[in-house]
């Protein structure tokens, strides 16, 4: 390779200089590290900093990769946070040293500090990443897929043996090294050391479309990597990738409304050779529930290497699917004018257990010496007959201003913060205006829709599990729930999307601000008819017409009020609730039934 430039590594400069310069012509900083590593091209950035292609003058200008520690702290500040980030960066370097012993993982060449900045230098892998390879050369046939899968499973066998989870397997992070004719797994920048008490600072939790549902909620295990590898394999096999068309996400091999991989059907329709054995292996790796996947890479290898004439029987989990549902994009973006957007996420039809089990209610009432948890009984089965779209975030101050021309918020911190201090009636006026503007049918969610969307398939107190922390939601951290710990009490709202989303991709369903539901208040579910339970998209009438339901808890509440099942009531004029109340909208489309019919 021949290089004709030298890039300054100073974070606030990054000027391109002539290759033979020793110092940056703009800021005067030295252009080499340790008098040997010269950056020649910016490659990208992640949670811990930036990566550059470089050359090493001590080894005859051998290409290498420099990682510069420049952490994205997500708005956090303070020396303690910075030191934690440094510790994680150092941990990554030690981790890479061990992982680099495998021939299909880049080797760690150096780790050092210079001018108060930390650096990692890694082996540069020359070749094409698999996304570029498929786009330029076409999809992989089954024989090549089997070779690829076996190769990467052996890499994961080694990685998991080091108690490391990669967390971001995708075609872009696998390079085909032409010289050695092998696949190399790169970018361990978001990997997780199993058993560590540290939390990654500023890293993403994988890539949507490849990361499994539990990873989107912040939980990973070894099977999460197996899911991502299978998702990658499907893309290589079919040559089909999710793409945005007119602002809508479309996918030929993944049924977005039903959360189901359909690559087998696609292959059969297009006369692409795919053995039943390989299809079963991939489907098991892609199971929604981690417990239904293979337990380890070794197990998948064993099945993959089984004699084709005597295929091993593989049990794949059944995924309930409403085949009569119309094909719907997984999301859409509404333009509210003046550059303000409203992001909506598809919530598929399904069913769930609404409320809290009797023994859990008894335990809560006894522990807190109150009886208001009885509002959550009895736990009962509810059907959500029709898919609907729900706001990815709480309605923001910027969105409210764009639609209503005012901002009623007490916590007036910016356009990307949730609008607060809104009554149920205020929300109806907002919805009326947005419906006029968009000619769509927006409304508040029914109480059943809200809980179904919040749970996103979970049965625990929170969509994170049976405990919650202030790293996961904005609530009064002076209190804890279950076996959790106390944390931060921020005393103000946080920008929308500041914490992890649930499996449906919804943010801030726990804490930050209470959220209005359409339903009138009921003291419990005792009087709920079977007819209403079988139509969770509808509200149900009540004698308490002036009382409406709030869900999700707020920044000012203890976590017990932020649980998925907790119910609270407020006058629809908002005489109580005040600054702690916001809203989230759903969109049901012009074909949806009248919201108050069929009760």
Cα distances from 334 to residues 135, 328, 341, 347, 583, in angstroms, run 31, 16, 6, 17, 17
CA 54 to chain CA mean position, Å:
32
Sorted by sequence, the CB contacts under 8 Å of residue 444 that are 6+ apart come out as 424, 427, 428, 431, 516, 517, 518, 583, 584, 585, 586
Q: Can you say whether residue 505 is alpha, beta or left, with left for phi > 0 and alpha for psi between -120 and 50 degrees? A: left
Element (DSSP H or E) covering residue 587? strand 586-587
What does the pLDDT look like over 457-493, one tens digit per residue?
Answer: 999 999 999 999 999 999 999 999 999 999 999 999 9
What whole-number distance in Å separates Cα of residue 73 and Cα of residue 564?
Answer: 29
What whole-number distance in Å separates Cα of residue 300 and Cα of residue 293?
Answer: 10
Residue 267 has pLDDT above 90, yes or no: yes
pLDDT band at 72; cut points 50, 70, 90: low
What whole-number distance in Å separates Cα of residue 584 and Cα of residue 456?
Answer: 16
What whole-number distance in Å separates Cα of residue 33 and Cα of residue 545?
Answer: 70
What whole-number distance in Å separates Cα of residue 24 and Cα of residue 13?
Answer: 9
What whole-number distance in Å separates Cα of residue 164 and Cα of residue 345?
Answer: 32
**Domain range annotation of the chain:** 5-123, 128-304, 331-587
Instruction: Find the range with the poorest average confidence among 172-176, 256-260, 555-559.
Output: 256-260
Query: Is residue 128 helix, strand or coil?
Result: strand
Using a 10 angstrom Cβ sphere, with 0-12 exposed, 13-18 middle and 19 or more buried, the burial of residue 483 is exposed
- Nearest C-alpha neighbor of 40 from the set 9, 12, 78, 84: 9
pLDDT, position 213: 86
Residue 108 has pLDDT above 80, yes or no: yes
Catalytic residue (one of 168, 187, 255, 519) = 168
Q: Are 162 and 119 in contact (CB under 8 A)?
A: no
- Nearest C-alpha neighbor of 502 from the set 466, 455, 566, 554: 455
Range 114-126 average pLDDT: 89
- Long-range contacts, stretch 81-88, CB < 8 angstroms, 24+ apart: 81/201, 84/198, 84/201, 85/48, 85/201, 85/202, 86/118, 87/198, 88/48, 88/198, 88/200, 88/201
Residue 324 has pLDDT above 80, yes or no: no
Q: Are 124 and 61 in contact (CB under 8 A)?
A: no
Instruction: Find the range with the poorest average confidence among 45-49, 387-391, 459-463, 519-523.
Output: 45-49
What does the pLDDT look like over 357-406, one tens digit per residue?
Answer: 988 999 999 998 998 899 999 999 999 989 999 999 999 999 999 999 99
- Take residue 105 and report the two structure tokens written for it: 């993982």
pLDDT band at 532; cut points 50, 70, 90: low
Beta strand 16-18 with 5-7 is antiparallel
- Take residue 473 and report the two structure tokens written for it: 């939601």
Annotation marks residue 371 as catalytic = no
Query: Is residue 243 helix, strand or coil?
Result: strand
Using a 10 angstrom Cβ sphere, with 0-12 exposed, 13-18 middle and 19 or more buried, the burial of residue 294 is buried
At residue 79, φ and ψ (nearest 5 deg) are -65, -30
What whole-number distance in Å separates Cα of residue 481 and Cα of residue 465?
Answer: 11
Output the CA torsion sign for 150, 153, 158, 159: positive
Sorted by sequence, the CB contacts under 8 Å of residue 64 that are 6+ apart come out as 37, 53, 54, 55, 56, 109, 121, 122, 123, 124
CATH assignment of 331-587, given 3.30.2320.50, 3.90.1580.10, 3.40.640.10, 3.30.70.270? 3.90.1580.10
What does the pLDDT look like over 419-469, one tens digit per residue?
Answer: 999 999 999 999 999 999 998 999 999 999 999 999 999 999 999 999 999
Scan for tokens 């927006």, then name that residue: 442
Does domain 128-304 fall under CATH 3.40.50.300? My reply is no
5-123 maps to which CATH number? 3.30.200.20
């Amino acid at each position: 390779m021949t290089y004709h430039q030298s890039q300054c590594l100073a974070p606030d400069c990054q000027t391109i200089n002539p290759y033979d310069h020793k110092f940056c012509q703009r800021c005067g900083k030295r252009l080499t590290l340790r008098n040997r590593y010269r950056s020649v091209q910016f490659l990208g950035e992640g949670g811990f900093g930036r990566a550059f292609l470089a050359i090493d003058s001590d080894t005859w200008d051998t290409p290498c990769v420099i990682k510069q520690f420049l952490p994205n702290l997500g708005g956090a500040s303070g020396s303690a946070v910075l030191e934690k980030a440094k510790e994680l960066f150092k941990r990554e370097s030690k981790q890479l040293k061990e992982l680099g012993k495998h021939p299909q993982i880049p080797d760690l060449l150096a780790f050092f500090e210079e001018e108060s900045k930390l650096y990692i230098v890694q082996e540069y892998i020359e070749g094409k990443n698999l996304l570029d390879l498929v786009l330029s050369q076409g999809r992989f046939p089954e024989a090549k897929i089997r070779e690829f899968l076996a190769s990467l499973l052996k890499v994961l066998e080694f990685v998991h043996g080091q108690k490391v989870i990669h967390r971001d397997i995708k075609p872009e992070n696998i390079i085909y090294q032409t010289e050695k004719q092998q696949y190399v797994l790169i970018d361990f920048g978001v990997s997780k050391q199993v058993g560590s008490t540290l939390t990654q600072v500023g890293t993403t939790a994988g890539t949507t479309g490849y990361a499994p549902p539990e990873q989107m909620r912040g939980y990973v295990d070894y099977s999460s990597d197996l899911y991502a590898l299978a998702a990658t394999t499907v893309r290589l096999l079919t040559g089909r990738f999710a793409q945005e068309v007119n602002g809508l996400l479309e996918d030929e091999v993944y049924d977005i409304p039903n959360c189901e991989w359909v690559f087998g059907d696609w292959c059969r329709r297009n006369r692409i050779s795919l053995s039943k054995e390989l299809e079963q292996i991939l489907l098991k790796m892609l199971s929604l529930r981690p417990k239904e996947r293979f337990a380890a890479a070794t197990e998948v290898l064993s099945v993959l290497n089984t004699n084709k004439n005597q295929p091993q029987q593989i049990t794949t989990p059944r995924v309930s699917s409403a085949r009569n549902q119309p094909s719907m994009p997984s999301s859409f973006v509404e333009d509210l004018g003046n550059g303000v957007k409203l992001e909506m996420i598809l919530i598929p039809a399904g069913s769930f257990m609404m409320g809290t089990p009797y023994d859990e209610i008894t335990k809560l009432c006894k522990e807190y010496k109150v009886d208001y948890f009885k509002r959550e009984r009895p736990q009962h089965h509810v059907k959500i007959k029709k898919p609907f779209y729900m706001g990815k975030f709480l309605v923001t101050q910027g969105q409210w201003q764009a639609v209503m021309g005012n901002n009623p918020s007490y916590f007036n911190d910016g356009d990307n913060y949730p609008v607060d201090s809104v009554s149920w009636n205020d929300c109806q006026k907002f919805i009326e205006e947005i419906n006029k503007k968009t000619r769509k049918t927006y409304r508040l969610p029914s109480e059943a829709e809200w809980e179904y969307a919040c749970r996103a398939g979970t049965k625990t107190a929170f969509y994170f599990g049976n405990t919650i922390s202030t790293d996961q939601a904005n609530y009064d951290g002076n209190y804890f729930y279950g076996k959790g710990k106390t944390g931060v009490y921020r005393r103000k709202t946080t920008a929308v999307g500041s914490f992890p989303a649930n499996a449906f991709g919804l943010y801030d369903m726990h804490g930050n601000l209470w959220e209005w539901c359409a339903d009138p208040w009921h003291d419990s579910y005792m009087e709920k008819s079977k007819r209403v339970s079988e139509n969770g998209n509808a509200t149900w009438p009540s004698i308490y017409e002036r009382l409406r339901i709030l869900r999700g808890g707020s920044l000012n509440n203890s976590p017990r009020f932020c649980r998925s099942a907790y119910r609270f009531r407020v006058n629809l004029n908002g005489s109580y609730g005040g600054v702690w109340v916001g809203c989230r909208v759903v969109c049901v489309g012009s074909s949806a039934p009248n919201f108050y019919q069929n009760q």
